[in-house]
A and B are shown apart, each in its own frame.
Chain A
Amino acid sequence: MNVFTRGIRNAFRNGIRTLSIVAILGLSIGLSLTMLVANKAVGNKIATVKSSIGNTISIAPAGVQGFEGGGNPLTQASVDTLKSLAHVSSISESINDRLTSSGDSSNTNLVSSIDAGSLGQRFGREGGFGGGFGGGASGSTAGQAQTFTIPVTATGVSDTSQYAGSAVKLTSGSQIDGTADKPVALIGKDLATKNNLTVGSTFTAYGSAITVSGIFDTGTSFSNNAVIFSLPTLQRLSSQVGDITSATATVDSISNMDSVTAAVKSKLGSTADVTSSKDQAANAIAPLDSVKTISVFSLVGAVVAGAVIILLTMVMVVRERKREIGVTKAIGGSNLSIISQFMVEALTLTILGAVVGLVIGVIGGQPVTKLLVSNSTTSATTTATPGQRGSFGGGSGFGGGQSTGGGGITRRGGFGGALGRNSAVKGISNIKTQVGPGILLDGFGAAIFIALVGSALAAGMIAKVRPSEVMRAE
């Protein structure tokens, strides 16, 4: 028998009480751990989002997002002036157009690899595409649903290593030079399969024969239904020489992002929408930050609750055993040994509570984190369905009733911008929680902290018990 064994044994002196205290403590420690798990998971996610913040600034014609909105394209000349800005390390420019093999505006022999499906058909009907065509063709077909085919996206980029916000991975063939005007192109994997194209094959676009230089895979079926030209090639082929529908400025360091964004804005004025990747990330992180704050408050709350539980328990126990404490002092026990014994008792209870809490934390960590995150980020996330990205033909959609009539280039572009934005935000709610040995240590650390704080008041009371109390009758 010593201080330790006595303390441990005393923890089990009253079975029902021990059980209820361990259960309540287990809940509070479990909640603390759950919050710790959530906090760490969210913290990791924020770090990942922050570290993945590109040092890029997207520039799109004012009023354009995806294929929606209006406005006029930017001129290559005005975008080129950005190259001279301090801290801008490079500018990549792009132009967009669509290749379609059906209808009057047919300009290619490429067949889209994406079936319109019900979504596409609906976008087609609701948008100007079906309506405009139907109306234009003949009165009898007006209003009748017409089969809608998804066009193939054609993009001319000055930097052909990047497309739609991600790196272009070639599955075969070789890269093309984004600044040279040559009749070559990179085509998406799905498009190649659909049209039986391999490296070296040719296809027709805008009446010219184009040779496939390489085949790429971006991982999404929408992007894999695309053709990448060099910027001057597509500008010439689609009669948009001198126009830019989106540009991305790369800044030399994250710390210069704000100043460069401001400089770009003042340079381009109201003709362009300028968005820095930093702002996008900040928007994406905001709901995570609030989850993090909530988890910190809950964590502190749960630890404090645990400490209060053990504090009240120990105060109760000391009051109950006042006489026993007095006797122990009378027969030569020091304050130190008696207090240590009670601390061991408190520790035993909290460690048992921690074991229960650990089980709760391991089981509850992931679902609670998911719940917290999904509740606060639903407004900030989007789910991509293949073939639907970029609100194709939606609402005021493709053609808008006048686009084929030649109302200028009203809505080409904004692609890079829109997709880039999406990828910065996507997967925010896809958070992984981890319960490693760290959590175990934290749990027992919390238990020891709770036990020490909780028994501090009891220790004070023990020190005050006068041994002469035992002389008083019970």
Chain B
Amino acid sequence: MIEVKHLVKTFKSGDTNVDATNNISFKVPDGQFASIIGRSGSGKSTLLSLLGALDKPTSGSIVIGGQDLTKLSDHELITYRCKAIGFVFQGYNLVPNLTALENVMLPMEFAKVSRAERKTRASELLEQVGLKDDKQLRKPGRLSGGEQQRVAIARALANKPKLILADEPTGNLDSATGKMIFDLLHKLSRSENTTIIVVTHDLAIAGKTDATFKLDDGKLVSK
């Protein structure tokens, strides 16, 4: 269960303060596939980075699996990001100098998984997302956008996280490929009982999720 209460994130830009998230509260049960929609600049990415412990809220609390993120130390936050969260970004954000396989192995290295286990699991995950053989050994520059996003999904799943956060994962892909990626995420959340929160502009996609939260100017306007 993810429980967000009175979440406020204020950015200072010059003299003015921008409330990127303004007193947001919601709950997402375990294993649910939820989506966040809203106009550009409404605070979707900000909310996601708070949920993923990439940033600290100005006020409010985020309780995931009974643990309050706002009470964790910096060191605990690193461990939390490493083991409890999987990220998928719009721009894939793979490490360009590493092969697909090595990209998927990286979070496991941070989680101190043994080398042999890293390799087998990374290879299995890549096969699950549809990347086989020599493609696993290619660097991101030699993979298509859709393939790179598959690698990113495999990487997000590497440490068997409880929560996957995806920020417009299909934003850079054509609609057919986007649908495939989305179906992949959907399938995985079912099979591994992983909670997924995805930010999207695509209302058709949002319509297929278990719950949709709409943001407007930092406020939650509908659930």
Contact = CB atoms under 8 A, between A and B. Distances in A.
Interface in A324-381: 324, 327-334, 337
Contact of B97 (A9, A323, A337, A473): A9
A259 interface: no
Contacts of B49: 467-468, 471
Interface string A170-203: 0000000000000000000000000000000000
Contacts of A328: 95, 106
A327 B92 CA distance: 10
Interface string A295-335: 00000000000000000000000000001100111111110
B163 to A, nearest CB: 13
B102 interface: yes
Consensus secondary structure, chain A interface: helix
B95 A324 contact: yes
A468 B55 contact: yes
A323 B93 contact: yes
Contacts of B75: 334
B89 interface: yes
Interface in B71-123: 75, 78-79, 81-83, 87, 89-91, 93-98, 102, 105-107, 109-111
Given A1-B98, A1-B109, A327 B81 contact: no
A466 B106 contact: no
Nearest to B44: A471
Contacts of B150: none
B159 interface: yes
Interface in A1-24: 1-2, 6, 9-10, 13
Given A471-B48, A471-B49, A324 B96 contact: yes
Contact of A337 (B87, B91, B102, B110): B110
Contacts of A324: 95-96
Contact of B81 (A332, A471, A472): A332
A470 B102 contact: no
Nearest to B80: A332
Contacts of B102: 1
B147 interface: no
Nearest to B50: A468
A331 B155 contact: yes
Contact of A467 (B46, B81, B90): B81
A104 interface: no
A467 B93 contact: no
Given A13-B97, A471-B49, A2 B91 contact: no
B45 interface: yes
Interface in A43-60: none
Contacts of B98: 1, 6
Contacts of A323: 93
Interface string A451-474: 000000000000000111011111
Contact of A473 (B82, B90, B96, B159): B90
Contacts of B79: 332
B54 A331 contact: no
Contacts of B178: none
B45 to A, nearest CB: 4
Interface string B4-44: 00000000000000000000000000000000000000000
A471 B167 contact: yes
B110 A331 contact: yes
B91 A332 contact: no
Interface residues of A, number: 25
Contacts of B110: 331-334, 337
A330 B91 contact: no
B106 A470 contact: no
A470 B93 contact: yes
B95 A330 contact: no
A224 B11 CA distance: 95
A331 B82 contact: yes
Contacts of B45: 471-472
B14 to A, nearest CB: 18
A190 to B, nearest CB: 76
A337 B106 CA distance: 12
Contact of B109 (A2, A327, A467, A474): A2
B105 A332 contact: no
B41 to A, nearest CB: 12
Nearest to A5: B102
A467 B110 CA distance: 15
Given A9-B97, A323-B93, A332 B52 contact: no
A32 to B, nearest CB: 31
Nearest to A332: B82
Contacts of A10: 97
A467 B45 CA distance: 13
Contacts of A334: 75, 78, 110
B155 A471 contact: no
A324 B94 CA distance: 8
A471 B98 CA distance: 21
B97 A331 contact: no
B55 A1 contact: no
B58 to A, nearest CB: 13
A330 to B, nearest CB: 5
Nearest to A469: B54
Contacts of A333: 78, 82, 106, 110
A1 B81 CA distance: 20
B106 A1 contact: yes
A19 B186 CA distance: 47
A331 B106 contact: yes
Interface of A: 1-2, 6, 9-10, 13, 323-324, 327-334, 337, 466-468, 470-474
Given A323-B93, A470-B87, 11 more contacts: A1-B98, A1-B105, A6-B97, A327-B94, A331-B81, A331-B110, A331-B155, A467-B54, A470-B54, A470-B89, A470-B93
5 contacts: A328-B106, A330-B87, A331-B82, A331-B155, A332-B159
Q: Which 9 A-B pairs have the closest CB atoms?
A: A332-B82, A332-B110, A468-B54, A468-B55, A468-B49, A467-B54, A471-B45, A327-B93, A331-B107
